[in-house]
Amino acid sequence: MVTAGMTPREAVREAENRLTAAGCPDADFDARELFRLASGRDMRISDRPLTAEEADRLEALCSRRAAREPLQYLCGSWSFLDFELAVGPGVLCPRADTEVVAEAAAQAVADIAAPKVLDLCAGTGCLGLGVKRFCPTAQVTCVEKSPEAFAYLEKNARCALAGQGRQTENLLEPTAFEQADAPAFDWGPALNALKAKPAYAVQPVQGDLFTYWETLPEGQLDLIVSNPPYLTAAEMQQLQPEVAQEPAMALEAGEDGLVFYRALAQHYRQALRPGGALVLEIGWQQRQAVTDLLAENGWADIECRKDYGGNDRCIIARRPQIKLEK
């Protein structure tokens, strides 16, 4: 048990032992992160013993993590590329492998001056925001169905890229997320009205992938990117304890895991301009199945990218170019 008076290293060692006993992967990393959350300090550069309040906070965090609550949820934000995303119960945790998808999507529109981009099943908005980070002139719309996840998407659309591009960061200043949660200052009716409409880096929209295509004009988009649910019914029965606490709505995709890919392949090609790109995250065993679906529905130039672990992670396809008659 973590108690007042422990040195930072003693407290972290105690936390690590508890998390290891509970079966948490990367218990050493988690213990250091929980200490930082509880105390606001880095154990490597602090030797002041824990106060009673810090010990109580760390003890409570250890109990929650030992119950396999995702570390990302406990932290309240998580890094993606070089920015932070608000995250918590009700939204899928951003993962490092998805950065490969964001990079591939940004590369697909790198030569377009102001690309029009659609991020479907956006969740935290990591993909749409990732494209915006690489391509600041991109016009990005992020679509999410879940009301719980949409709350995080809306917050990230306002805050995740705030202050990007600074040369240095003052760690004593509040983050964009903390500023967003601060009580609003009363500037008077005129200025309050001007400040009422939030400034979004990307445009959050609540909508359903299975019907949103009906609202799209033909040939207007340069890029569609998506990390849709792709787990099979069998895989949903074998989730790690942490993943089981993430929303099933963001994970499950029918008996074969392909329900969302079928809709994307069948309904979204016409929304892209000729040569426009579709970039999809896939499960590590889904390369051939998704490739076949896209080919059957008239997509061209289909290729696959691997993630940092060497697994198939990303499918890229394009709407065929118009062939001119001779």
Residue with tokens 């590329």: 81
Task: Please give the C-alpha separations between residue 173 and each of 163, 202, 249, in angstroms, as whole numbers.
Answer: 12, 24, 36
CA 114 remoteness from chain centre:
23
Q: What is the pLDDT along the chain (326 residues), one digit of tens a residue?
A: 888 889 999 999 999 999 999 999 999 999 999 999 999 998 888 889 999 999 999 999 999 999 999 999 999 999 999 999 999 999 999 999 999 999 999 999 999 999 999 999 999 999 999 999 999 999 999 999 999 999 999 999 999 998 664 333 333 344 555 556 655 555 566 555 545 556 899 999 999 999 999 999 999 999 999 999 999 999 999 999 999 999 999 999 999 999 999 999 999 999 999 999 999 999 999 999 999 999 999 999 999 999 999 999 999 999 998 764 44
Residue 42 is given by DSSP the state -
Q: What is the dihedral of CA 76, 280, 206, 151, to 10 degrees?
A: 0
CA distance 138 to 226: 16
Identify the pLDDT of residue 164: 62
**59-102: per-residue pLDDT in tens?**
999 999 999 999 999 999 999 999 999 999 999 999 999 999 99
pTM of the model: 0.88
Structure tokens at 27: 């218990």
Rounded distance, CA 86 to CA 90, Å? 12
Q: At what angle do helices 126-134 and 98-108 cross, to 10 degrees?
A: 50
Going from the C-alpha of 185 to that of each of 182, 188, 191, 192, 272, the distances in angstroms are 9, 9, 10, 9, 43
